[in-house]
Chain A
Amino acid sequence: MTKTRSLRWSLPALLLAATANATDMPLNMTKGVTEISQQVYDLHMTIFWICCAIGAVVFGAMFWSILRHRKARGVQPAQFHESTKVEILWTAIPVVILILMAIPATKTLIAMEDTTEADVTVLVTGSQWKWHYKYLNTDVEFYSLLATPKEQINNRFAKGENYLLEVDRPLVIPTGKKVRFLMTSDDVIHSWWVPAFAVKKDANPGFINEAWTRVEEPGIYRGQCAELCGKDHAFMPVVVIAKTPADYEQWLNGEAERIAKAKAEEQELLAMNMSMDELMSVGERTYIAYCAACHQPNGEGLAGIFPALKGSSMALNDMAGHIDIVLNGKAGTSMQAYAKQLSLKEIAAVITYERNAWGNNTGELVQAADVHAVLQGKGE
């Protein structure tokens, strides 16, 4: 990676390198891949050039004055200090320019807000710090998490090409179809943003927002959460893959199958007991992916915000409470409900892990069936 390496160079070399790389560096808003994003780009450039033109006139007059009307040239100051004619003129001209600008902006805005007659609807739910996608009228739903390894973030591994802009399961949408997004949140306010679609909409807890897009070209489009949503706001990217309708259908069926299969496996698992080693290894993996952001990899949490699991009385003594809090979360805190986010096996493993890692040596195993029992008990 020339970019990361260049950062170790000294300042002048850095400046040179950056200038040389200027062509790779994006300088302007993307034109995007939709009709709307193209319109937005055009509006952006129109208002930009209007500003440049006004700037040229105003700053031009100012610098002319600075050069010519300086005392050092021996000029005598004039004493005029008002002119109704000029003042009316420079009030009226901007008004006309603004009205001309408002017309296309209004048209585009009205088009952007028209979410009717959608072909596909996806419910997008933000939570700290991941996105959940549910395809309405199908069984397909899944979480989408940052896929960049911690080691890259902590500078122990070289950073990959799509550093911080890659996820484990991207959202897939069909090309040429109007896709409607319904946005909401499980906790704080997030904002779902894909620059290439010119879609940025807040996901508000308890409310549903709408947005839409129609992508013509198949491709991978990347974005990020745009609204500060807590500690790991920088680490919840959006990745959208646009596929042709045929490929999309195939993918959707494959996903439905995968999800059905996972559910069936889950049932089989209830009858089986996993070994400590297996639980601990699955548990550690799950813990790092879902729990470590708050409770920290060493289980010590962050004093005052995220409680420690290491040595906590719940992790040492209260197994029923432990299973309950992982399944259902804790209202009024950042602790989320994982019942629908993780499989029974993963929940069993992660609880086992938390009860046996970092010196919490309870020796207790939690099996999928135990978790299932608590879940059923809740349902009755």
Chain B
Amino acid sequence: MSAVVTDHEHDHEHHDHKPSGIKRWLYTTNHKDIGTMYLVFALIMFFIGGAMAMVIRAELFQPGMQFVEPNFFNQMTTVHGLIMVFGAVMPAFTGLANWMIPMMIGAPDMALPRMNNWSFWILPFAFLILLMSLFMPGGGPSFGWTFYAPLSTTYSSDSTALFVFSVHIMGISSIMGAINVIVTIFNLRAPGMTWMKMPLFVWTWLITAFLLIMVMPVLAGVVTMVLTDKYFGTSFFDAAGGGDPVLFQHIFWFFGHPEVYIMILPAFGIVSAIVPTFARKPLFGYASMVYATSSIALLSFLVWAHHMFTTGMPVAGALFFMYCTMLIAVPTGVKVFNWVATMWRGAMTFEVPMMFALAFIVLFTIGGFSGLMLAITPADFQYHDTYFVVAHFHYVLVTGAVFSIIAAAYYWLPKWTGHMYDEKLGQWHFWCSLISVNLLFFPMHFVGLAGMPRRIPDYALQFADFNAFISIGGFLFGASQLIFVWVLVKCARGGEKATAQVWEGAEGLEWQVPSPAPYHTFDTPPVIK
């Protein structure tokens, strides 16, 4: 793919008018401002959710109850999950989409800028409601982020209504964000930017946006059913009224499984941008990457019940979901093989974005392996609801999704700020994170296999030593992220001036506009050859 910007000198400063101060951010319809707000919001949420993880790890440092009550512990695990999924990972990807998609396809902005403003600005309120519910009598949601009925209906505290409304708002925000991405990609591609020339980040986000539009309404439906079961006397999930608690799980996971891919497909796009840049070699198997992403997205609708093998389903059902789940390993494998083939016989350098991308490939693959193990239904009976599962999804979400977001931040920071970040500090951030994250999550495989259930505030003595390790890893990983904040602040304030191309091997439209990217880019579409 080769692209040339013919006339970006049209980006004059004269139409660069915007209100100053807080009004700039409240009223903005600029994709770069909104992207920045999403990213900053995600970072704040990452630290709030992280603080909750620290509470969890402090309580689990030793057997016995030390710091919090079991009910509060359950609120911490629940809200930690909700915040990290809906408040940190998803908004971070949306922020990256806002910043990068228009620049990557040669569009002047997102297609629906006012909706873009709204879809961001309702988010802080959603999380304010969720966080405030923690201070209600009886506490916030304590039924796990999966809010299984009837624990979340008949047996939940009064804050459940607030939980439901905050999830509704998050869903509305995500759906609007997704619509915006789809409309932008369909309508605002520069002349010559054909489908198979689009960068993979654009492709993966397009597919993610379709997943969002398909499953967020399902989530909205299921939380509404929880609401009416709890407050308005319906019995969707209550056998006494003709309902079925397992129905809840079917609906939830029909949303929940595609949701998992919503949180990883954009990561695939990021890694597919970074690896070729630092290997100085074109991405291997571009077309197969597109097809693999699409097939992962399609398969994601056929595997939801693999979260439910122990609920008691017919053998034929269990076999179907086992086979489909195993099949997902094939396109996922193709992606990993393609990245390795991209590196093969390249000329690699190892700046921070590349380091995080390489760590992503190895550690996400480890999470993929444990996912494959979980697919084997008879073995899943032993793994299910243990720390083995906790290890699995933290490998795919922390060393997967979060590492990719950090990699993306380092990769595009010079484009956003016009300054190079501090490479030395960044390397410190990387190595501290890499070591601590493995100390944190790897031993969870062992305690899980040895039989420690998840979501418990206290545990039997044979798990004590490993839990102490895990907690220390957790505290170190939390502390390591402070280095990241330091790097970000330092880079925003100043630093070595970045060139337009920034990275020697970087290709694509975003590298052809100056750094920092002007407030408005591509008012006149570039011509792509």
Q: Is B361 an interface residue (CB 8 A)?
A: yes
Known contacts A187-B150, A305-B139; is-contact A26 B346 (Cβ 8 Å): no
Stretch at the interface among B31-39, B96-104, B118-126, B456-464: B456-464
Contacts of B525 in A (CB 8 A): none
Tell me if B345 and A78 are in contact (CB < 8 A): yes
Q: How far is the CA of A323 from the CA of B512 in the complex (A)?
A: 79
Cβ proximity bits B201-235 to A, threshold 8 Å, 1 near / 0 not: 00000000000000000000000000000000000
Q: How far apart are B469's CB and chain A's nearest CB, in angstroms? A: 7
Tell me if A27 and B378 are in contact (CB < 8 A): no
Q: Is A76 an interface residue (CB 8 A)?
A: yes
Q: Is B57 an interface residue (CB 8 A)?
A: no
Q: Is A233 an interface residue (CB 8 A)?
A: yes
Tell me if B319 and A106 are in contact (CB < 8 A): yes
Cβ proximity bits B281-293 to A, threshold 8 Å, 1 near / 0 not: 1111111100000
Contacts of A261 in B (CB 8 A): none
Known contacts A1-B461, A163-B63; is-contact A202 B365 (Cβ 8 Å): no
Tell me if A40 and B378 are in contact (CB < 8 A): yes
Contacts of A188 in B (CB 8 A): 148, 150-151, 154-155
Q: Is B507 an interface residue (CB 8 A)?
A: no
Known contacts A26-B462, A59-B362; is-contact A98 B378 (Cβ 8 Å): no
Q: How far apart are B66's CB and chain A's nearest CB, in angstroms? A: 7
Q: Which residue of B lies closest to A45 (CB)?
A: B379
Known contacts A51-B372, A105-B378, A191-B310; is-contact A163 B468 (Cβ 8 Å): no
Which of A25, A36, A55, A202 sits near B310, CB closer than 8 Å? A202
Known contacts A109-B322, A153-B65, A305-B139; is-contact A65 B343 (Cβ 8 Å): yes
Q: Is A344 an interface residue (CB 8 A)?
A: no
Tell me if B457 and A200 are in contact (CB < 8 A): no
Q: Is A273 an interface residue (CB 8 A)?
A: no
Q: How far apart are A43's CB and chain B's nearest CB, in angstroms? A: 5
Tell me if B337 and A90 are in contact (CB < 8 A): yes
Stretch at the interface among B5-13, B240-248, B395-403, B421-429: B240-248
Tell me if B326 and A98 are in contact (CB < 8 A): yes
Q: How far is the CA of A62 from the CA of B357 in the complex (A)?
A: 12
Interface residue count on the A side (C-beta < 8 Å): 111
Q: How far apart are A153's CB and chain B's nearest CB, in angstroms? A: 6
Contacts of B386 in A (CB 8 A): 226
Within 8 A of B (CB), among A1-41: 1, 3-4, 6-7, 11, 14-15, 17-18, 21, 24-30, 36, 39-40
Tell me if B315 and A81 are in contact (CB < 8 A): no
Q: How far is the CA of A360 from the CA of B285 in the complex (A)?
A: 76
Q: Which residue of A lies closest to B334 (CB)?
A: A91
Tell me if A102 and B322 are in contact (CB < 8 A): yes
- If over half of A's interface residues share one DSSP class (helix, strand or loop), that class is named, otherwise mixed; here it is mixed
Known contacts A44-B373, A58-B336; is-contact A66 B348 (Cβ 8 Å): yes
Q: Is A75 an interface residue (CB 8 A)?
A: yes
Tell me if A4 and B464 are in contact (CB < 8 A): yes
Known contacts A43-B379, A62-B361, A225-B453; is-contact A202 B334 (Cβ 8 Å): no
Q: How far apart are A194's CB and chain B's nearest CB, in angstroms? A: 10
Q: How far apart are B59's CB and chain A's nearest CB, in angstroms? A: 11
Tell me if A234 and B459 are in contact (CB < 8 A): yes
Tell me if B346 and A78 are in contact (CB < 8 A): yes
- B288, B333, B376: residue with the most chain A Cβ atoms closer than 10 Å: B376
Q: Which residue of A lies closest to B505 (CB)?
A: A77
Q: How far apart are B60's CB and chain A's nearest CB, in angstroms? A: 11
Tell me if B464 and A7 are in contact (CB < 8 A): yes
Known contacts A18-B469, A153-B458; is-contact A44 B282 (Cβ 8 Å): no
Contacts of A69 in B (CB 8 A): 279, 343-348
Q: Is A70 an interface residue (CB 8 A)?
A: yes
Tell me if B148 and A228 are in contact (CB < 8 A): yes
Tell me if B287 and A82 are in contact (CB < 8 A): yes
Cβ proximity bits B376-398 to A, threshold 8 Å, 1 near / 0 not: 11110110111000000000000
Q: Is B329 an interface residue (CB 8 A)?
A: yes
Which of A7, A55, A79, A305 sits near B62, CB closer than 8 Å? A7
Q: How far apart are B216's CB and chain A's nearest CB, in angstroms? A: 24
Which 8 residue pairs of A and B lie closest in terms of their CB atoms, listed nearest first? A206-B239, A304-B138, A304-B137, A26-B450, A234-B456, A209-B312, A51-B369, A303-B137
Interface residues of A (CB under 8 A from B): 1, 3-4, 6-7, 11, 14-15, 17-18, 21, 24-30, 36, 39-40, 43-44, 47-48, 51, 54-55, 58-59, 61-62, 65-66, 69-72, 75-82, 86-87, 90-91, 94-95, 98, 101-102, 105-106, 108-110, 112-113, 128, 152-155, 159, 161-165, 183, 187-189, 191, 193, 195, 198-202, 204-207, 209-210, 223-235, 302-305, 332-334
Q: A154-B64, A161-B461, A231-B70 are in contact. List 10 more A-B contacts (CB 8 A).
A: A7-B61, A7-B464, A28-B449, A30-B450, A47-B373, A66-B358, A80-B345, A109-B318, A188-B150, A234-B459
